[in-house]
Amino acid sequence: MCGVLGILGNFQLKMARDLLLLLTHRGQDAAGLLWSDENSFKTSKAMGNPGKIEVPEISPKHILGSTRYPTTGKRVVSSDDLDTFVGPFNSDDISMTHNGNITNMSSVSNIQVDCDSEFIAERLSIHLKANGGNLPDAFKKLEGEVDGSFSLTGLYQEKLFAYRDSHGFKPLVFGRTKKNTIVASESQVLDMAEVPLERDVYPGELLIFDQKGTMESHSISQNSTHSHCFFEYVYFAHPAAKMENQLVYDVRFRLGRALAHSFLKLNLEVPDYVVPVPDTSRPAAQAMAETLSVPMREIILKNRYLGRTFIAGSQEERNSMAKSKYIYLDDKISGKTILVVDDSIVRGTTAKMIITDLKKRGAAKVYFAATCPPQTHPCYYGIDIATDSELIACTTDINSIADFIGADALIYQEQHTVENAIGLKDLCLACLDGNYPTEHARKIRNNVSQHSSTTNQRDYERDFSQ
């Protein structure tokens, strides 16, 4: 998962940085901007969120932006790492930035790269050199050789391009005015720039835009079914984002309503409050509260100066972030039965901490509801949960998870209600059911089942030949 941005037509660089801030939730490791400056490209990158990127007061013709969440390569730990791991990347005449994860780099080529975005830039550059600069043909070659997810935007020969892999795992949208074309991971970026959303980039479609706003659409590769990541709707994307004609907020609301019906089936005591874990689960908590006719109270407040625990690197870092992540309204807790709603339970760290904190403050009972069903398999397509050992539901049944987190009842979303709430049938649900949509990912799963591991290495970075 990362955020990408591409802008064509003179546009204030500082405003582009503000737009990139709207993609901070997709990656808080580091961020970068690239822009054209006469006959060359300049870049500026910073650790953490995009607000720290230093840029001059200019309005270049071409801009690319990237927020990084590392799923390949290490985390950025010092400014020395910025050029190595943080996009946008240049390779000869092509510049690009990418969201997703490539799982088979070492079987495609033995060129040494530090991350998969650099790998894609290199592969495109090699194909462009070999075919005389034919971009659609270079993408056909790329689709034929790489396995994984890749939504990307870039610059080639003064033009802006956008490509979304044929499975359509990760979102990518665009819009145009007379002056500007903008490509972005999520549509709220276009809203802020006052550029109307035109549509999603279709899976397997390459779009090329010139300075006049003319658009060429090339069908590069077609799959009979697509595999849109359901977790984008549940957790990653901003609630204001529109993806595949769905407002993410509406999907989350429907997830909450479905979860309320699951809660009712359990005949539990009516809670005093429904309480969202900020921020992602707010729409679902509103829907649960409405459906159950119980007030929603925001008694868990977020320490907004911390990042997302999910995006934190080590378990120690996650534990320490989780501890200082929330502030509680103590007066509202004592003696109450509380139904807490969160988007998901990945490692169980946050859920356990919250329930412990609420009980320490005198809560009579704490029920815990997750809008995402149990995640039983790792993700190889852009979330850094790349081993079974990082997922509590991979090895633990629901009753044991409830015991571990200390919940008086645990209510999980069901898989079919996720599909109904999103309203799409062609979803990737691999982290729920193990049905990986790509061949190399299936091979990795097969290898994992035959080779035990004592390291924390990501499954797709392991060498199974030994």
Using CA atoms, how far residue 200 sits from 182, 221, 339, in Å, is 12, 16, 36
Report in angstroms how near the CB of residue 426 gets to ligand SF4 at its nearest: 12
Q: According to CB under 6 A, which residues from 303 to 322 bind ligand SF4? A: none
Q: Which is nearer to ligand SF4, 141 or 167 (CB)?
A: 167
- Of 283 and 382, nearer to ligand SF4 (C-beta) is 382
Under the binding rule (CB under 6 A), the answer on residue 229 touching ligand SF4 is yes
Q: CB–CB of 3/27 below 8 Å?
A: yes
Residue in 379, 393, 407, 418 binding ligand SF4, rule: CB under 6 A = 379
Q: State the minimum distance, in angstroms, from the CB of residue 443 to ligand SF4.
A: 15
User: Residue 329 CB, nearest distance to ligand SF4 (Å)?
Assistant: 33
Q: Which of these ranges, 213-221, 228-236, 264-272, 410-418, lies near ligand SF4 under the rule CB under 6 A?
A: 228-236
The answer to whether residue 393 forms part of the interface with ligand SF4 (CB under 6 A) is no
The answer to whether 255 contacts ligand SF4 (rule: CB under 6 A) is: no
Q: Closest approach of Cβ 373 to ligand SF4, in Å? A: 11
Q: Which helix (H) or strand (E) holds 285?
A: helix 282-292
- Taking each helix axis from N to C end, the angle separating 282-292 and 248-265, rounded to the nearest 10 degrees, works out to 40
Residue 156 or 230: the one with the smaller Cβ distance to ligand SF4 is: 230
Tokens for 207, please give them: 């779009």
Q: Does 69 bind ligand SF4 (CB under 6 A)?
A: no
Q: Which is nearer to ligand SF4, 101 or 180 (CB)?
A: 101
| 418 makes contact with ligand SF4 (CB under 6 A) | no
75-103: burial string, b at 16+ Cβ within 10 Å, e else: bbeeeebbeebbbbbbbeebbbbbbbbbb
Residues forming a β-bridge with 6: 64, 183
Say if residue 249 is exposed, middle or buried (CB neighbours under 10 Å; 0-12, 13-18, 19+).
Answer: middle
Q: Does 119 bind ligand SF4 (CB under 6 A)?
A: no
Q: Between the CA atoms of 46, 50, 55 and 60, what dihedral angle is there, to the nearest 10 degrees?
A: 120
Exposure of 427 in the CB half-sphere (CA atoms within 13 A):
25
CB 64 within 8 Å of CB 154: yes
Residue 169 binds ligand SF4 (CB under 6 A): yes
User: Helix, strand, or coil here: 112?
Assistant: coil
Helix (H) or strand (E) holding 295: none
229 labelled catalytic = no
Beta strand spans in 357-420 (E): 365-370, 409-412
Judged by CB under 6 A, the stretch of 119-127, 192-200, 410-418, 426-434 that binds ligand SF4 is: 426-434
For residue 157, the minimal CB distance to ligand SF4 (Å) is 32
Token output for 358: 């609420």
CB within 8 A of 93, min separation 6: which ones?
A: 125, 128, 133, 156, 157
Q: Where are the alpha helices (DSSP H) in 133-205?
A: 135-145, 188-193
Identify which of residues 240 and 424 has a Cβ nearer to ligand SF4 in the complex: 424
Nearer to ligand SF4, 297 or 445 (CB): 445
Alpha-carbon separation of residue 388 from 257, 380, 453 (angstroms)? 30, 11, 10
Shortest reach from residue 419's CB to ligand SF4, in Å: 12
Contact residue for ligand SF4 among 231, 367, 368, 412 (CB under 6 A)? 231
First and final CA of the chain: distance in angstroms?
Answer: 30
Considering the rule CB under 6 A, would residue 326 count as an interface residue with ligand SF4? no
22, 402, 429, 448: which one binds ligand SF4 (CB under 6 A)? 429
Can residue 428 be called a binding residue for ligand SF4 (CB under 6 A)?
Answer: yes
Alpha helices in 230-281 (DSSP H): 230-231, 248-265
- In angstroms, give the least distance from the CB of 439 to ligand SF4: 15
Catalytic residue among 2, 229, 372, 428: 2
Sheet holding 273-276, edge to edge: 273-276, 337-342, 365-370, 409-412
Strand partners, 215: 209
**Phi–psi pair at 295, nearest 5 degrees:** -65, 145
What's the min distance (Å) between Cβ of 385 and ligand SF4? 8
Rank residues 46 and 391 by Cβ distance to ligand SF4 and give the closer one: 391
Compute the least distance from the CB of residue 430 to ligand SF4, in Å.
4
Residue from 16, 292, 383, 421 that binds ligand SF4 (CB under 6 A)?
383
**Part of the chain binding ligand SF4 (CB under 6 A), chosen from 67-75, 133-141, 429-437, 456-464:** 429-437
Binding flag, residue 422, ligand SF4 (CB under 6 A): no
Number of residues that bind ligand SF4 (CB under 6 A): 12
Taking the least distance from each CB to ligand SF4, the nearer of 206 and 429 is 429
> Is the Cβ of residue 55 or residue 428 nearer to ligand SF4 in the bound state?
428
Number of separate helices (H) and strands (E) present in the chain: 16, 23
Does the protein bind ligand SF4 through residue 431 (CB under 6 A)? yes
Report the interface residues with ligand SF4, using CB under 6 A. 169, 229-231, 379, 381-383, 428-431
Catalytic residues: 2
